[in-house]
Structure 1
Amino acid sequence: MSEPSIATDDVVAVLNQILEAELAGVVRYTHYSLMVFGYGRIPIVKWLRGQADESLLHAQQAGEYITALGGHPSLGIGKLLESEKHDIGAILREALEHEQAALALYRELLKLVADRDIMLEEYARTMIAQETLHSSEVNKMLRMPGDLVPFAM
């Protein structure tokens, strides 16, 4: 018995949204890394640039799946609005919002491919796990030392 087929056009559309969101992440995290000042700059900049590199890898992965399905990768880029505030707290709150938006897109992809395409289902699950971990890391960074209660936006 074979798996039910996926709605390829719908899957490609969500993958293109993921591609655009991840490309926006590259720009966003790179911008943030340029706007960090103060004593703790070096490790924060390193972390932000690592996030930019990872967003580029995620965008490339989404693009590969798009073309594997016969689709055309978008040249667009996701939402880049910012608060114009560059203190570390504001940067991290914007980063958390970005991570949660990406997580929602991967969850949407999973709904489209679950029990229909093992490769795409595993990809979506892996990315959900990674984005959840990223959100958790940013959430911990937003907490005050010793505060065990998760940060709430």
Structure 2
Amino acid sequence: MSSENIDTEAVIAKLNQILEMELAGVVRYTHYSFMVFGYSRIPIVSWLRKEADEGLAHAHEAGEMITHLGGHPSLGIGPLLETHNHDIGAILRESLEHEKATLKVYFELLDLVKDRSVFLEEYARRLISEEEIHQGEINKMLRKPGEVGVFSP
């Protein structure tokens, strides 16, 4: 397994898509943190800002991967949904959709590099794991108190 066996252009394009998705997450979670009101504001804002910080770290990592492969990091940003519905449930449902879309792109990267580059495969698998954890956290927050079953929109 060597990175010489990968389609470098396709991998760089996918990494740029990841970079853009992660940057969109930074903007999204930061915006949401401004729009939380009520008794639960402090812990929720703290969680949202932590998610924004983590998204920025993921964006940095994707950019470094791109330049490692000789590519040029995108200045674009992924899609930003603005429903103007800022209750906590809506924010969490929108966050869950963003996490699902980002996870899909990481799986697409994994498909491009699997059994071709240990370095890139391990990167993709680690980020897939982190994104799945995020989805699980959001899913738990969307459940009503006392509910054990997985949230389904």
Distance, in Å, in 1 between the alignment partners of 2:107 and 2:152 is 21
Give 2:136's aligned residue: 136
Distance, in Å, in 2 between the alignment partners of 1:104 and 1:148 is 26
Distance, in Å, in 2 between the alignment partners of 1:77 and 1:125 is 23
Question: What is the deviation of 1:40?
Answer: 0.5
Question: What is the deviation of 1:123?
Answer: 0.3
Give 2:73's aligned residue: 73
Distance, in Å, in 2 between the alignment partners of 1:81 and 1:40 is 24
Deviations 1:112-146 (A, max 9, x none): 00000000000000000000000000000000011
Deviations 1:16-59 (A, max 9, x none): 00000000000000000000000010000000000000000000
Distance, in Å, in 2 between the alignment partners of 1:129 and 1:78 is 21
1:1-150 map, 5 Å: 2-3=1-2, 5-150=5-150
Moved over 6 A (4+): none
Deviations 1:56-77 (A, max 9, x none): 0000000000000000000000
**Can you give the 5+ residue segments of structure 1 that lack an aligned partner in the other structure?**
none
Q: TM-score, normalised by structure 2?
A: 0.97
Distance, in Å, in 2 between the alignment partners of 1:141 and 1:83 is 20
Distance, in Å, in 2 between the alignment partners of 1:96 and 1:81 is 12
Deviations 1:67-106 (A, max 9, x none): 0000000000000122110000000000000111110010
Distance, in Å, in 1 between the alignment partners of 2:152 and 2:103 is 16
**Counterpart secondary structure, 1:122:** helix
- For the aligned residue pairs, the C-alpha RMSD in angstroms reads 0.9
Counterpart of 2:67, as a letter, is T
Give the aligned length.
152
Identity %: 66
**Can you give the 5+ residue segments of structure 2 that lack an aligned partner in the other structure?**
none
Distance, in Å, in 1 between the alignment partners of 2:124 and 2:82 is 27
Counterpart of 2:30, as a letter, is T
**Counterpart secondary structure, 1:137:** helix
